[in-house]
């Protein structure tokens, strides 16, 4: 009985070890090799097209970003120019008002002091 059990256990271990070894594949026929080569070529072409499209998209995005930046800078400059013009106009009005007051004061007769 012991020999029978030992044989069965040895057989199980042998089949387990045999099941784990990879089977060698037969040589691939020429048609399969040609098909694999065609698939590989198609994959390369697709990758190249995708890469070109991504580069073009990135370039477009960069140009758009630069255009937005230029618009923002132009708006900021316009705002600064407007503020400068407003400050200059306020200063000119203040000068004109002061000059008018000075002219009024000079044109007004001096009060006569009687004793």
Distance (Å, rounded) from C-alpha 45 to C-alpha 39? 10
φ, ψ for residue 65 (rounded to 5)? -65, -40
Domain ranges of the chain: 41-98
Of 44, 66, 47, 45, the C-alpha closest to 55 is 47
Per-residue pLDDT of the chain (115 residues; tens, 9 = 90+): 788 888 888 887 877 766 665 655 555 577 778 888 898 999 999 999 999 999 999 999 999 999 999 999 999 999 999 999 999 999 999 989 888 888 877 776 656 667 6
Distance (Å, rounded) from C-alpha 109 to C-alpha 58? 78
**Number of helical H runs and strand E runs in the chain:** 2, 0
Cα 85 from chain centre: 37
pTM: 0.41
């Amino acid at each position: 009985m012991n020999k029978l059990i030992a044989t069965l256990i040895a057989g199980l271990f042998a089949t387990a070890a045999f099941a784990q070894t990879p089977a060698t594949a037969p040589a691939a026929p020429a048609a399969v090799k040609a098909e694999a080569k065609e698939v590989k070529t198609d994959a390369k072409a697709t990758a190249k097209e995708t890469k070109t499209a991504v580069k073009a998209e990135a370039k477009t995005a960069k140009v758009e970003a630069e255009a937005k930046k230029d618009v923002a800078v132009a708006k900021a400059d316009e705002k600064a120019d407007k503020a400068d013009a407003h400050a200059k106009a306020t200063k000119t009005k203040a000068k004109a008002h002061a000059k008018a007051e000075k002219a009024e004061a000079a044109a007004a007769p001096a009060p006569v002091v009687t004793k």
